[in-house]
Structure 1
Amino acid sequence: MKDYLDLVLSKFKPLIDNASYRINNPLGAAFIFSWIIVNWQAVYFFFFSDQKAEEKLSFLKSLYAVANDTGTTSINYNTLIWWPLFAAIGYLVLAPAISNIATTIWTWVDKYCSSKRMSFLEKTVFITPEERDQMYLSFEGVKTQYRDQIKDLKSEIYSLRQIVSLQDENQGLVVTPNINEHIAEEAQLTVIEDLEPNRSPLSHDELFNKLSTKSNSYVFDKWISEQFDLDIDYQTHFAEMSTIKTIINQLLKDNHTPLRDFSLGGTHINRQLLESTLKKLEIKNLAEKNDDNTYRLSESAFIKLRNILSQ
């Protein structure tokens, strides 16, 4: 039975496919909805009226039949075809344009409201500069406290290892090298050596040129990572290190650098990021603020940078 029905329906398959294409076509679908809207009276009366079929046909004839001067009747193609067709074409043409206009207006309104919100937030002071400075000092104090505790624990660990190695020595085992070297190496302490007495100190320009070389770039990055407890291989920390490195290089070139002159790759650094980074440098005693609100590299930082090149 199923095979018989499939055989019968296969005869009508081209007709069904063609009708489906017409209905799914944007113009066909728009024309059908437009026709229903324009001829709503005929649709409503034909489907929902309780009148007999003859009365329904008479009503439809009265809607679409137009009497001529010659006494004959003709079909009103305006209501039946042309008005729905024009409405469908108008919908297909105007709907995308209206949608694009509405999207453009909404995008503009959204950007305008976003800019107003950002402007309001920038003008709103959540904390005073004194409170911000105190917050930075508190953070650095906590970091320093835990860093010192970690170093003490590492020193204790390697002291205990030295005791164990001394006990092993009595059994003929090899003695571990100097404990101070182990402690300095494992705790990653920076040993700053005095400059050679017969070597003249580097100037700011000479130091800047040496730090800019490829061979010293990694040493410079490593020193920054140690000063600020950053991971040189971590992408987020690398971005912060680049900002710090740029600021230190700028301070090396000019001891009276205003905020507007700091730039990263030709682009001015964000004002809030710049102020927070300079504050960190001040807390670390690596930068100092001049009386004219410009910044300079501290003598302590200059000595440390010279020492890392002399090692």
Structure 2
Amino acid sequence: MMNLKSHPALLKRLLLLAVAGLVFPVLPAQDSVLDQFEAEDPCSIGIFSSVKQFQPGVPFQVGVLIQPLPGWHGYWHSSRDGGDAPDVIWSLPAGWKVSEADFPVPKRMVEEGDLISIGYNKPFLLRFNLTPSSRSNDDDLSKISIPVKVIWQVCEKVCIYGKSETELSISRGDESITMDTGGSSMLAGWRDRYPVAAAKARGFHFEQQWIPEPGSTPIRKGTWVVRWSRRGDDRRPAVPLQWIAFPHGIEEGLISEARVERWNRQSSVENPRPVGWQVRFELQELGLGFHPGLLGVTLVPSPGKAAGPVPGMPAVTLEGPQEKKPK
């Protein structure tokens, strides 16, 4: 069960802060643990841009590479019992905008104390869309530097918070955008590792249902059922798939882990849906501000024991059922 305010998570946070020396003074017995980090941080960062020169108002992609040392791991945006995801802080020029981070598909990990966390045990690239100001300024022809700061947490036998800084150097092009070959190559290499929105998942049908616990006012418990299947007109070769479902975090409440199961809907002339999959999440101790639209899940296809993404079958992100607006 996920509880962002659970006692184990709170105790773990206090332990992490203690190890980082942010809450309690470092005790002599901790010196041997911390000495190994004095020469080198267990995490570093890099930055990659799709362009060398931008045009006013035209978005471009930037990737921030989070690189834990071998044996260390970082965290997804919804890490369950795990730690905190990287926080990327941009110092943008006036009029510029940056999107929320796109996180690549994570993996399930079991940490000390049988804690379940969701994250990455290898370097991972956070992807952003940067949009320059639409106003043209002659001063932009000279190279500008955009400071970028990353607050990260990585864990091995202990967990460490840290901060890394870099900058993005870029200039405005005279008449056209100039691509950055190295940055574009890096971003292209990661393209298939990001989930797509369910509405853009070609060849799939999705449906979902929120089932509140009867007699609960306000709603304190419920079940979220998500089902999906290949469309009848999808002509791509059938791939033996297994699926993993990673529920997104909620501000208040518990959401269970759940195993994806095969789902058989009886086909008919009116509704010829093929065999598909389903997952059922049980939710408890929901806050007063909860509504099903706050839910989210990332569905990850896997070709059995083989590693890596399924060609032509990206992971999918599905938001919870939205309230229908009155006409």
- What's the TM-score, normalizing by structure 1? 0.23
Relative contact order (alpha carbons < 8 A, sep ≥ 6): 1 or 2 greater?
2
Structure with more of its chain in strand, by fraction:
2
Q: Which structure has greater helix proportion?
A: 1
Larger radius of gyration: 1
Instruction: Tell me the TM-score normalized by structure 2.
Output: 0.22
